[in-house]
Chain A
Amino acid sequence: MKKTEPTSRKRVSLFRLAAIVVQITGLSVITVVLLSGLALIGVLGTLMESLGDSRTVQAWVYDAGWFHFGLGLLALNLLCGMMVRWHQRWNFTGSILVRAGILLVLLGAFMDNIAGFEGRVVLSKGEPPARRLVSEESILMVEHPPTGDVFSKPFTGERVLPWWPQKLSLPNTDTVLIIDRFTRNLLEVLSPEAGRLPFVAPALRGYLEQPDGKRGTAVWMPLGVPVDLKLGEEHFRSAYTLKIIPLPFGLELLKFEIPRVPGSEQPANFISLIRFCESNVNHDVEKQIRMNHPASYPGGWWRSALGLNIKFSQAGWDPANPTQTVLQAVYDPGWGLKWMGGLMVCAGVFVLLYFSPRWRKA
């Protein structure tokens, strides 16, 4: 008995310490500071988007590690806030529901970030089924022809700043690839006069560097076009390209209709009839996709409810080619959590505003 007493005390003091940490982390003031910070970031983000473009803002703000870290801190704060208020849950029902709702939304977003994907597929009538998506996420691929080594890494060109070049160590060699510039339109850079309007071509500029300081010639790498990089005897092939996501099934466009507003050429809708084909399934499935009415595959209500299928929605069309449709595909396993979270926030705000003792008293 005497031996166990100090351990028990130690446990109690550890528990107290943990409780203090949870109480401090869950302080409302921290929630207010974090949410105010989020609002401020939103203001700056939209201003940046207005002055520049949405991809740059996504790269520097919403997809950046520091932003996700901030959201993680918010999740931690909300979790601790819930734990602190749990013993008075009948007084704090609304507040707990709102916190839990936001937590679920953040958790859903986290799951989407880890396991989800998003891409586009262009389908033309009469062509064989497409079995891959083109993601908006860009990658940098480097091949070393003598050894056959291929190195690939997610790379966002918008994050390259002229005064902050990015270094990429190439595996099995001392040579470093340095990316020092990015442009949204290579033609504007190469010939500012000629490249005013006709064509938008994002490109990276890179060169090789060896440990002794030797540098190769800087070469522009337009999106999707492989280029050769040389430095002395060393020779690499590099490509800045969009990530390709393979699909476990094929999509074939059977029919594409563009009903027009009567008396004008303005589209009233876009209707694609798609055949989903799988080699291990006996019969193919045909589904119609139109604006505001996406199609999910594989089917089944439980898969749709849990977000465990790919959702295809109408994303674009080519006015010059009316037999071609562009679909957006989203796989979001955090879908169900986001929904539940959204509904909980609504319910929580209602309870908080109209049933919480503190707000009612006010």
Chain B
Amino acid sequence: MKRVLTIFAITVLTATALFGAEPQTREPADFSAGLKQLETLPMFSGGRIKPFYTFAEETLKTFTGKTSFRPEDSHRNWNAMEILVSIWLEPKRWQDEPLIRIPNRKLKKIIQLNPRYTFFSYEVLKEEPLLKRHWEGLETFYRTEPKLKYPLQRLREQARLAEGIMTGQAFRILPHEEEWQPVSEQLELTKPLKDSFQELRRAWVKNQPKPFAQAVSKLRAQLRQTSSTYPREADMSKEVFYLKLQPLNLAFVCTFIGWLLMLAVPKRISFLGAGWIVAGMGLQLGDIASRVLISGRPPVTNMYETVIWVAFGVVLLALIFSARYRTRSFLLSAAPMGMMLIWLAQSSVLDASIKPLLPILRDNIWLAFHVPTITLGYACFALAMGMGHVYLVRALWFQTAPERQTALEKHLFQILKLGLLFLVIGIVLGGIWANSAWGRFWGWDPKETWALITLLCYLLILHGWLSRWWSSYGLAFGAILGFLVVVVAWYGVNFILGTGLHSYGAGAGGWGFIIGYTLLETAFLWAARWTMLIRKTIESPAHHDCQP
């Protein structure tokens, strides 16, 4: 009996241990109170002081392309704050977590990673020589494998960042002369800080939200006392507010509502729709102004910033022209363009983070003139493209009155003219900058060559229309086709061709967007052409003769 009881007891204990015990989970408890306080903790990263929240979002986006991520053994998505705090306080748990996204198959083959997987852990990447900080063969590698330059640059950035956060070096929260220090290095000097940090770590590891929140407050208070120039809470809160508000998303919604209203309501109350569009433009302006205030430079230093600048420019130009010519057609055309560009800016292809500028973009007055001018030209062409669509849709499928179509044609011509002027001035300003940066005015660099091609294409479109080589339909077709050239000059040269001296605006990806857009436009133009031919046949005298 005693034996039976012993066996029973052992069985029960084993079963309890195996099935009945609290399972080991990686899900953190509700740390929102502590994390909320940590969001505005100032830290030094990427050449500037920023809130912890910005750092967390940018870092996770650099790793995964998104602002949330589901760890392998979790049932839900973790937000950027949870992930970065977790890595900060218990880095060992994350060393084997496949967190770093590497989409390029060729690059994966070269660094001998399994091309079937997309995400890899820091542990797998850290010994790869291509990713070492000072790899002497790097420039040679770029010359022999130019297509892999940007994917490799991105991967090196990911690996360097991963090294920084896994070793704690990236979490520079302690003010120390010009460069801030990570807390782990300087804590020997300040014992109270060390204690608070240990409390923080302990509370997180033991999954205790309340002590965690208390430790965060304590640490923050101590850090604030370390320097008289410690950043103000209000400044950090503003940046967090800007990031959380996401003015561009709101601008998208406002513009969409405004556009729908303009389409739906009668002309006399179309100001309601215009008001929403103006509100959307105000939000875009707010977004751009916030970036200028945060970064302290003109908001035109990379592809993301030029896209949001063009989105703003399209709506602004449409409003000016609408006021000048008293017509809705500009806003009707501009709203979808603005929305499309905002959507593109918010996609994962473009990097929205504010990064330190390359030497060529610093200390340079021409940046503030050349890029905004040339991109305002692109904004005009984007608006003209939208108007080209409106013209064809109205003419071919809605049978709009000829006088309204003539007015629209005139407006299309005006906007194309303005775009051409901006483009020419922008090209010459670019020449001035090239002269001061590289010592020459023109060098047939792909970006320069495509700017010239764009200029010649639009000159041809307008000249052909003026010389009666093609009709108003031709002008509308030209406005749509011309924008395909703009897309190549603006986006394709940097992201698709990936060559030339304008590499500071470069990146990789976006094939899907370009191909999708080209196919959609081609389909639209074929449909328009087809409808034109059918209508011509129906309206021809021969056709009428055949009628019974």
Q: Does A174 contact B (CB under 8 A)?
A: no
* Stretch of A7-15, A158-166, A236-244, A267-275 lying at the B interface: A267-275
Distance to closest chain B CB from A349 (angstroms): 5
A42 touches B453 (CB 8 A): yes
Q: Does B421 contact A (CB under 8 A)?
A: yes
Q: Report the separation of the CA atoms of residues A137 and B98 in the bound assembly, to the nearest whole angstrom.
A: 49
Pick the contact of B421: A267, A328, A350 (CB < 8 A): A350
The secondary structure that dominates the B interface is helix
Chain A residues with Cβ under 8 A from B433's Cβ?
292
- Given A39-B452, A292-B360, A329-B439 contact (CB < 8 Å): yes
Q: Does A293 contact B (CB under 8 A)?
A: yes
Pick the contact of A343: B140, B413, B417, B428 (CB < 8 A): B428
Distance to closest chain B CB from A46 (angstroms): 4
Pick the contact of A42: B179, B440, B452 (CB < 8 A): B452
Q: Report the separation of the CA atoms of residues A293 and B359 in the bound assembly, to the nearest whole angstrom.
A: 11
Chain B residues with Cβ under 8 A from A197's Cβ?
137, 140-141, 144
Give B131-175 interface residues, CB cut-off 8 Å to A.
Answer: 133-134, 136-137, 140-141, 143-144, 146, 172
Pick the contact of A35: B47, B179, B358, B456 (CB < 8 A): B456
B463 touches A53 (CB 8 A): no
Closest-by-CB residue of A relative to B359 is A291
Pick the contact of A294: B47, B178, B439 (CB < 8 A): B439
A311 touches B364 (CB 8 A): no
Chain B residues with Cβ under 8 A from A42's Cβ?
444, 449-450, 452-453
Cβ contacts B323-366/A at 8 Å (1 or 0 each)? 00000000000000000000000000000000010111011101
Please, how many residues of chain A have a CB less than 8 angstroms from a CB on the other chain? 69
B360 touches A32 (CB 8 A): no
Q: Does B436 contact A (CB under 8 A)?
A: yes
Give B441-488 interface residues, CB cut-off 8 Å to A.
Answer: 441-442, 444, 446, 449-450, 452-453, 456-457, 459-460, 463, 465-467
- Given A49-B497, A359-B466, A291-B363 contact (CB < 8 Å): yes
Q: Does A319 contact B (CB under 8 A)?
A: yes
Q: Does A38 contact B (CB under 8 A)?
A: yes
Chain B residues with Cβ under 8 A from A320's Cβ?
134, 136
Q: Which of A198, A264, A335, A343 has the most CB of B within 10 A?
A: A264
A266 touches B356 (CB 8 A): yes
- List B residues at the A interface (Cβ < 8 Å): 44-47, 133-134, 136-137, 140-141, 143-144, 146, 172, 178-180, 356, 358-360, 362-364, 366, 413, 417, 420-421, 424-425, 428, 431, 433, 436-442, 444, 446, 449-450, 452-453, 456-457, 459-460, 463, 465-467, 493, 496-500
Could you list 18 examples of A-B contacts with CB < 8 Å?
Answer: A38-B456, A42-B450, A46-B497, A49-B499, A50-B496, A50-B498, A62-B444, A185-B144, A197-B140, A268-B356, A268-B362, A291-B360, A291-B362, A292-B360, A315-B438, A329-B439, A343-B428, A362-B466
